[in-house]
Amino acid sequence: MLIQILTKINSLNEFIFAPVDNFIEKLPLADWALDAICDSIHLIPFLFFVFLLIEILEFYYADKINSALKKTGRGAVLVGALAAIFPQCGFSVIASSLYVKRIISIGTLIAVYLSTSDETIPILLATPSKAYMIIPIVWIKLFIAVLMGYFIDFVLGNRIQTVADSAVNQTEVGCCHHDIEHGSKRELIIHPILHTINIWGVILVITLILNYCLSNVEITRLINGGKFIQPAAAALVGLIPNCAISIGLTMMLIKGTISFGAVISGLLANSGLGLLVLLKNNDFKDTLRIIFILLLISIVSGMAINFFTGFY
C-alpha cells in the first residue's frame, strides 16, 4: 500500500517538476552538479510524505512504546529493538536517558542503538526504485540487535531498578530541537516541514559530493577497491551522532559506491543523538565500554556480511 502511494507520488512528481528540471538544466554548471540538484529536488515530496506519516505515528504511539520499554522487564531488549527500527528521531535519546537512570539494561540500550534506523528508511522510501533494500536492512539490524542485546545482558548482567514515572520525566530534544516526549498537534505539520528542509539540505550536499567523486575515475576506483576495510571505516564514521551520517551511508548504497556489509556496519554503529546524552550524563568509563561494544559488533557484523556475500 505504502509503495503504491509512493509510486503514484513519483508519477505526479515527474509531471510537476518537469519545468523545474528544464530550468536547472540550463544553469551554467557541470553535469554532476546539475544531476545532484535535480535528483535531490525530486525527493522533496517523498520526504515530506514519509516524515508526516512518521510524525503522526510518533505522536499517537510514542508514549505507549516508552511505557512498554520501562515495564516489560526481560522483554525490554526485544521491545527496544523493535521500537528503534521505526524511524522516530528521538528514541535513542529516550533510551539513553532511561539507561543513565538504570531503568533499562545495557543490553537493551545497545539493542536500541544497533536497531536505530535514523534516516535510512525515509531516504529509501523516498527512492521507490531502491525501497526493496529496506527489508534486508531492517531484518539484519533487528536480528543482530536482539541477539546481541540478550547476549550482553547474559554476560554483563541485567542490572536495572524500578523508578516511578515521575522520576524519569524530563524534557529531551531530538532533531530540529523539538520536544520528543511532549509534542503538540501543531508540530504534526510544522516538524515534518522543518525536517524535510533540513534533510533535503543534507541530501543535496552529500549528493553533490558523491556525484563529484563518481565523475572522478581514480576516486571511484579507490572506493571500490577498499571494500575489505569499508566496514571498519563505516562503523567509525557511524559513531558520529548526526543524522547526516545515516543519510550519507544510504545515499552511497543507492549509488553503489559502498558494499552492503559496510552500510550495515555504519548503520549499526549510528545511534543518532543517543550517544550525546550518554557522553553528557553517564559514567565516562561505562560510556567508553558501550562505545567499544557497539563498534566491535558493528565491524564484525559488516565484515561477516561481506565475507559470506562474496564482497572480499
Sign, CA torsion 290/293/298/301:
negative
**Amino acid found at 99:** Y
CB atoms within 10 A of CB 177: 7
Gap between the Cα atoms of 208 and 187, Å rounded: 31
C-alpha cell at 121: 528508511
CA dihedral 109, 112, 113, 118 (to 10 degrees): -150
Closest CA to 222 of 258, 265, 246: 258
State the pLDDT at residue 202.
81
pLDDT of 107 = 92
Would you state the cell numbers that stand for residue 88, as one nine-digit string?
A: 522516530
> Per the structure block, which three cell numbers stand in for 269?
554503529
DSSP characters for the chain?
A: -HHHHHHHHHHHHHHHTHHHHHHHHTSSS-HHHHHHHHHHHHTHHHHHHHHHHHHHHHHHHHHHHHHHHHH-GGGHHHHHHHHHHS--TTHHHHHHHHHHTTSS-HHHHHHHHHH--TTHHHHHHTSGGGGGGHHHHHHHHHHHHHHHHHHHHHHH--------HHHH----B-GGG-BSSS--TTHHHHHHHHHHHHHHHHHHHHHHHHHHHHT-HHHHHHHHHTTTTHHHHHHHHHTS-SHHHHHHHHHHHHHT-S-HHHHHHHHHH--TTHHHHHHHHS-HHHHHHHHHHHHHHHHHHHHHHHHHTT--
Q: What pLDDT sits at residue 277? A: 83
The whole model's pTM is what? 0.74
Q: Is the dihedral of CA 126, 132, 133, 134 positive or negative?
A: positive
Of residues 170, 192, 154, the one with CA closest to residue 66: 170
Task: Please tell me the predicted confidence (pLDDT) of residue 171.
Answer: 47
Q: Distance (Å, rounded) from C-alpha 150 to C-alpha 156? A: 10
Q: CA 286 to CA 232: how far, in whole Å? A: 22
For each of the chain's 312 residues, which pLDDT tens digit applies? 555 555 555 566 565 666 766 777 777 778 878 887 887 887 787 778 777 877 776 676 666 656 665 556 667 888 888 888 876 656 787 788 888 888 888 999 999 999 987 778 888 887 877 888 889 999 999 999 999 999 998 888 766 654 444 444 444 555 555 555 555 566 677 878 887 888 888 888 888 887 777 666 544 454 454 566 888 888 998 888 777 788 888 888 888 888 899 999 999 998 877 888 888 888 899 999 999 999 999 999 999 998 887 654
Look at residue 148 in the predicted model and tell me its pLDDT.
95
Rg (CA), the chain: 20
